[in-house]
Amino acid sequence: MEKIPEIAFYIYFFMGSNSYLCANFQGLMSKKSIKSLLVAAFSLFILFFCNISTAQDHSENHGEEKFDVTKTILEHIRDDHSWHLWGHTSLPLPVILKTDKGFEVFSSSRLSGEHHEPVVYNGNYPYKSIEGKIKVVNADGTIDEATSKKIFDLSVTKNVASMFLTVFLLIIIFVGVANAYKKTGVTSAPKGFQSFIEPIILFVRDEIGKPYLGHKHARYMPFLLTVFFFIWINNLLGLVPFFPGAANVSGNIAFTMTLALFTFIIVNVKGNGDYWKHIFWMPGLPVAMKIFLAPIELLGVFIKPISLMIRLFANITAGHILVMSLICLIFIFKSVAASAIAVPFAVFIYAIEFLVAFLQAFIFTMLSALYIGMAIEEHHHGDAH
């Protein structure tokens, strides 16, 4: 936990505008700081609930089961090997492991016991699910880190399942819309779902594709549209608080990293001579400045996709944490009265999250287009820089 400030600094560095995220990110790191954060953020009504709070704290010390806010929130935003349905019921998902003894496939139901508690499953190794990750455990129940590092987890986790649900949904929706175009022809006005989708496609084309990619936009439209809708639908599904939503796909750094990686590959593969020249030998500047700028520009090549990755991950995760934190207030205060404040706030944040879901999909796509546009742009000689 001593590295929290460092993480916070990185988040500040990349996020800039999303101040609420930074606060939350820190809150996530330790259960003590989440309380202090909440006190800071909602001091107004904390003051109001002051008496209840102290009273509850007093009784909490003598309570049998201590409510762990951080654990609860983390459980909700992290990936898992089963998909929680209701109560103690979960949808089991296939666990696929690659070990030095070969591949191994088993149901995730083997990893949880009767009361949803993690149990040891004896495959090639004795496995146990620790905080959503498959670990190899020793006979005495301790984690065998060395062997755990050797297994490669290719499981269809909650996020993977949710992602493929999104893929399925997107294919159904857009192939359906495409067929509507084929059926009704191009002369008639769009109908039904087609009329809902078309303005968004046009928005992506006219607000993202055309301004940043110019006359070459048609070539990159499939990528931009796919990225946009993939992120957006994942964001929206992530906001659904129960099955088949509730998976935090676009708030998972592996997912955002993958998408950022695609942008990174396209930018650097499609980047023309001018693009590389502007990185290594910036024209129109004194030689000393050129040498000085080259490493900075080179770093920028990597920082751009990293910023894409962190922006989406952090925004979506922050939104989830924020909603969860507000709901958790009720459990922290152990008072129904807290819900009078917490629920409206949570609903308010939820409404904002719907905006953020669209906004982040838009920003990711727009910045991808911007980076690609910068890489494929043809500079005219004598440009001022």
> Whose Cβ is closer to another protein: residue 146's or residue 287's?
146
Cβ 50 to another protein shortest distance, Å: 32
Cβ 172 to another protein shortest distance, Å: 10
> Whose Cβ is closer to another protein: residue 49's or residue 230's?
230
> Whose Cβ is closer to another protein: residue 4's or residue 120's?
4
> Whose Cβ is closer to another protein: residue 128's or residue 278's?
128
Cβ 227 to another protein shortest distance, Å: 8
Rounded distance between C-alpha atoms, residue 238 and residue 220, angstroms: 27
Cβ 237 to another protein shortest distance, Å: 13
Cβ 178 to another protein shortest distance, Å: 4
Query: What is the chain's Cα-based Rg?
Result: 24
Cβ 318 to another protein shortest distance, Å: 11
> Whose Cβ is closer to another protein: residue 18's or residue 317's?
317
CA–centroid distance for 145 within its chain: 27
> Whose Cβ is closer to another protein: residue 70's or residue 90's?
70
> Whose Cβ is closer to another protein: residue 160's or residue 375's?
160
**Segments of 186-330 assigned E as strands:** none
Residues 6+ apart with CB under 8 A from 87: none
Cβ 335 to another protein shortest distance, Å: 30
Cβ 115 to another protein shortest distance, Å: 24
> Whose Cβ is closer to another protein: residue 53's or residue 234's?
234
**In this structure, what token pair is assigned to residue 52?**
């209840």
Rounded distance between C-alpha atoms, residue 366 and residue 275, angstroms: 19
Distances (CA, A) of 161 to 107, 129, 220, 235: 14, 18, 28, 15
Binding-site ranges for another protein (CB under 8 A): 3, 6-7, 10, 28-29, 74, 77-79, 96, 131-133, 152-157, 159-160, 163-164, 166-167, 170-171, 174-175, 177-178, 181-182, 186-187, 198, 201-202, 205, 218, 221-223, 225-226, 229-230, 252-255, 257-259, 261-262, 313, 317
- Residue tagged 């905006």 (tokens): 355
> Whose Cβ is closer to another protein: residue 174's or residue 281's?
174
Three-state SS at 189? coil
- Residue tagged 């690609």 (tokens): 372
Residue 36: name the closest of 45, 27, 47 by CA. Answer: 27
> Whose Cβ is closer to another protein: residue 333's or residue 364's?
364
Cβ 230 to another protein shortest distance, Å: 6
**Segments of 36-111 assigned E as strands:** 82-86, 89-92, 94-99, 102-107
Cβ 26 to another protein shortest distance, Å: 11
Exposure letters 54-68 (e unless 16+ CB within 10 A, then b):
eebeeeeeeeeeeee
Check: CB of residue 60 under 8 Å from CB of residue 117.
no
> How would you classify the pairing of strands 94-99 and 102-107?
antiparallel
Residues 6+ apart with CB under 8 A from 23: 37, 40, 41
Exposure letters 263-288 (e unless 16+ CB within 10 A, then b):
bbebbeeebeebbeebbeebeeeeee
**Backbone phi, psi, residue 157, to 5°:** -85, 180
